[in-house]
Amino acid sequence: MDKAKPSHENLAVSRYTDLIGEPIACVLSPIKGYEVAPLVSLEQAVAPITNLFDCIEENVWVAKENSKTPPDNLSHEESAAIHLYTMQFDSDPSFYELLNSILRDEYRDNLKPWFTYLKLFLTALHKLPSHPQTVWRGGLCARTQLVSKDTDKEFVLMPGSYFEVVGQLNPADGLYIIQMKELESPFPCVKPPSNDLTFPPQMQEIVINTMREAIAEGTDQAGIESIVVSALIQQYGGNGWVHITLESTIYTFMARKLFFSAKIDKYNINTLQQ
């Protein structure tokens, strides 16, 4: 007998009632390590975790198709990363369900395959405007949502948010109202995604524009690498390293060197400057 698929209504509700695995008896160790992962396309970001989902490639395509005009200065890839997180998949598990469960896992090594996605996702979330106001999360008759007090817009709570319970009521059987205030934690529960090792925007633009011009002129792979290196050295001096592949490749640089990774046309480019 085939496994019954959950209804779309149940999937929608689970986005807000997914609290069973929330740790309440202990404080988890901070989330870190992802911040040194390269910023890559959404396809590359989910490559290490494709085995955990059915048809993730299709959902990535849908997310990118629905994110072509991103707001808040987000890139296309960043906007699509947020969209993918909010999607209800037709089959279990939805993306947010599995990611939430991994974020709540005390064994932080289980997060490592998610690092490239977390880098893209959290980079996007940190660009969104902050709204210091009252929001509500609750349920009535199997419908629940997280909304602002004055509007019906949805809000995203950042991973690692830190709260203090400041009030609670039990006005009727089965009805509980708990008031919490967000606090700044003594230590960051999640390392910020940006760091001083990523190419500054002007340097990224030089790499991208130089590479696109070389591709348009029909330059081969080795020639593109040489041209990009020369452009970097001419503008910034020092030593440059560029590696271009047709396949998605993830590099981890242990030394303190500027790096930049991107997908341009059919090529994946990884650059290093010191």
Segment 102-111, tens digit of pLDDT: 888 888 899 9
Beta bridge partners of 242: 271
Q: Flag whether 169 is in a domain.
A: yes
Q: Flag whether 23 is in a domain.
A: yes
Q: Flag whether 2 is in a domain.
A: no
Query: 77-90, pLDDT tens digit by residue?
Result: 999 999 999 888 88
Containing structural domain, residue 229: 201-273
Own/partner contacts of 147-151, CB < 8 Å, gap of 24 or more, are none
Residues 19 and 121 occupy one common structural domain: yes
Which structure tokens are listed for 184?
Answer: 């700044």
Domain boundary among 125, 145, 168: 125
Entry pTM = 0.61
Average pLDDT of the residues in 205-230: 88
Residues 210 and 254 occupy one common structural domain: yes
Quick one: CA torsion of 134, 136, 137, 141, rounded to 10 degrees?
A: 180
Residues 95 and 171 occupy one common structural domain: no
Q: Flag whether 189 is in a domain.
A: no
Contact 239, 273 (CB under 8 A): yes
Count structural domains, the chain.
Answer: 3
Per-range mean pLDDT, top range of 56-65, 129-138, 187-196:
56-65
